[in-house]
Amino acid sequence: MINYDEQAAAIYAQNKAVGWWDDPNRCVYQTLQLVSTEIAEATEGERKDLMDDHLPTRKMGEVELADALIRVLDLAGRYGWTFNVHVEPPEECVGGMSIGGKHLFINACLIGLVHNLPRDLDTVDTAVCYHYSNLVVAIVSTAESQGYDIEGAMVEKLAYNKTRADHKRENRAKEGGKAF
């Protein structure tokens, strides 16, 4: 099992080194919205039974869930959120609910985190850590319910991201580049 606190620190360090955190006023809500877009992409991959464009040996649903997990862990590394190992996998993500329903439930967990963010984001409290942990467990449980190797997909995607032209500072700064 992944040590989520160590992984969060490593992902944040990697992303900070390549400039994703250059803007000291980066909007946490905008960043959390990107988690929701990863979940939407996972849903689309499942609907169409697609393989991933970047990791073509893996299903798109698997890689997009890994992307969502990477984004959440990046935020945890930035803000010092700690993973609560006592959070149980939600029944909605391990039971007989459809994959689309499971993805929707992940978004509900995301909203739970959003509603519990403190005004001072550098203040770590137990409610934030609980909701962050619940979101991580929902993503991982959903991936596992599909038979996905989310840890392996995450490792591969992090390695791939190091080589991406659209992830380089100079390319993001260009007109039409990835701004966030």
The string of pLDDT tens digits covering residues 46-92 is 999 999 999 999 999 999 999 999 999 999 999 999 999 999 998 88
Domain membership of residue 174 (yes or no) is no
**Which residues fall within 8 angstroms of residue 74, CB to CB, at 6 or more apart?**
8, 11, 12, 15, 20, 31
So what's the pLDDT on residue 47? Answer: 97
So what's the pLDDT on residue 104? Answer: 96
CA distance 93 to 145: 7
| Confidence check: pLDDT of 176 > 70 | no
Q: In whole angstroms, how far apart are CA 57 and each of 36, 62, 143? A: 24, 11, 16
Domain membership of residue 107 (yes or no) is yes
CB 97 within 8 A of CB 105: yes
Rg of the chain in Å (alpha carbons) = 16
Domain membership of residue 179 (yes or no) is no
Domain membership of residue 68 (yes or no) is yes
**Which of 65, 71, 79 is CA-nearest to residue 117?**
79
Query: Tokens in use for 157?
Result: 């995607």
State the Cα torsion 172-65-113-36 to the nearest 10°. 60
| Confidence check: pLDDT of 172 > 60 | no
Task: Express each pLDDT in 79-119 by its tens digit.
Answer: 999 999 999 998 888 888 999 999 999 999 999 999 999 98
**Domain assignment of residue 60, given as a range:** 4-167
CA distance 167 to 161: 7
Q: What is the percent of the chain where pLDDT is above 90? A: 76
Domain membership of residue 177 (yes or no) is no
- The tally of domains found in the chain comes to 1
Domain membership of residue 105 (yes or no) is yes
Determine the average pLDDT of the residues in 16-23.
90
Domain membership of residue 176 (yes or no) is no
State the pTM of this model.
0.92
CB 45 within 8 A of CB 98: no
CA distance 42 to 154: 14
Domain membership of residue 22 (yes or no) is yes
Angle between helix axes 150-161 and 60-79 (nearest 10 degrees) is: 70
